[in-house]
Amino acid sequence: MKNRFVQLVLLTSVIFIFWVGGCSNSCDEGQCHALTVYTLQPWYDELTEFRDDVIPLPGGIENDSELPVVAGEFLADVIPDCVYPDKMAVKNEVLTKEHFKAMGRNQIVMFQGHGSYEEGIGSVLWNKNWWDWNKEESDPAFRREVEAGRIVNSEFNEAYTEKFIRKYCGNLKGSIIYMGQCLSCKDEILAQAFLDKGAVAVIGNTDAIQTRYGDIMQYTVITSLAHINPVTKDYYTIGEALKEAQRIYGEDELERYPFANGAKPVIYGNASYRIATVRK
């Protein structure tokens, strides 16, 4: 895809890109790449119908469902050795352990979906299935997951806990995880599970968040990682990218939605990390 939506800021001098993450195990047809984008959108079709007049979408983007996809295509378009294979764009699927097993080294992972918070458990990620009260009896594998505390009933939804992440995610060394779900970083418990698996940084939301604000913040942070910061003359760090998104759309959602909860994205892990650096 040619870059229609985001302009890459280039220095006037010649740029040499040095990858920070190093070699990865992300391979496609035998070819290994420095960076792989992975998007997980269980409610993709439903979100195409969402409308919000408070924050306009970037030109050329028609709905919120397109935001993670366009961000991934942009990174693959402008960053050498970055790929966004079709199989890594998960749409309208119930999230299973196989989706989490596919998370690996040197990935940028974007979740767009729903989540909640359970006292004594922490933030949880909904997988798209409604809770079935008979499933534990009819499905022994599901019953084992529930007994182990990896799946819980959260607001009548099947939801994955930090124990699920610890069980099924592989080596996430060099990866950035952006959980766009509500309440995904109400505390550090869920984020820490990804960090303990090797992720360099995890971004998530402190409370139930307005859909458009949460989606546009994710899009802006991720695409900013492929831009040059005019102040530092280097690629944006994760922390700088978040500050830039907050400069544009507000430090929290209250600046655009005065009656909201005050949710905002926060970073756990290394906010100074950048996916690449430049040398003149």
126 assigned to some structural domain: no
Contact (CB, 8 A) for 260 and 254 = yes
Q: Give the pTM.
A: 0.90
End-to-end CA distance of the chain: 28
Q: Given this model, what pLDDT does residue 279 score?
A: 72
For 96-143, the pLDDT digits (tens) are 999 999 999 999 999 999 999 999 999 999 999 999 999 999 999 999
200 assigned to some structural domain: yes
Q: H-type helices in 169-274, by residue range?
A: 189-196, 211-224, 238-249
Q: 249: which 2 tokens?
A: 């759309």
Q: How many other CB atoms sit within 10 Å of the CB of residue 21?
A: 19
Q: CA dihedral in degrees (7, 8, 11, 12; nearest 10)?
A: -50
More confident residue, 113 or 15: 113
More confident residue, 68 or 12: 68
How large is the average pLDDT for residues 236-256?
A: 98
pLDDT band at 34 (very low <50, low <70, confident <90, very high): confident
Domain range for 193 is 22-92+104-116+174-279
| Helical (H) or strand (E) element with 126 | strand 122-130
Q: Given this model, what pLDDT does residue 24 score?
A: 38
Region of residue 60 (phi > 0: left; psi between -120 and 50: alpha; otherwise: beta): left
7 assigned to some structural domain: no
Q: Return the closest-CA partner of residue 96 out of 125, 136, 135.
A: 125
39 assigned to some structural domain: yes
Domain count, the chain: 1
225 assigned to some structural domain: yes
Specify the range with the lowest mean pLDDT, choosing from 1-5, 253-257, 259-263.
1-5
Specify the range with the lowest mean pLDDT, choosing from 3-12, 16-25, 151-160.
3-12
Q: Given this model, what pLDDT does residue 50 score?
A: 97
Q: Given this model, what pLDDT does residue 33 score?
A: 53
Q: What are phi and psi of 163, to 5 degrees?
A: -65, -35
pLDDT band at 3 (very low <50, low <70, confident <90, very high): very low
Q: H-type helices in the chain, by residue range?
A: 44-47, 66-78, 97-101, 135-138, 140-147, 162-168, 189-196, 211-224, 238-249
36 assigned to some structural domain: yes
More confident residue, 253 or 26: 253
3-state secondary structure of 23: coil
99 assigned to some structural domain: no
Q: Is the pLDDT of residue 173 over 80?
A: yes
CATH number reported for the structural domain that contains residue 192 in this entry: 3.40.50.1460
97 assigned to some structural domain: no
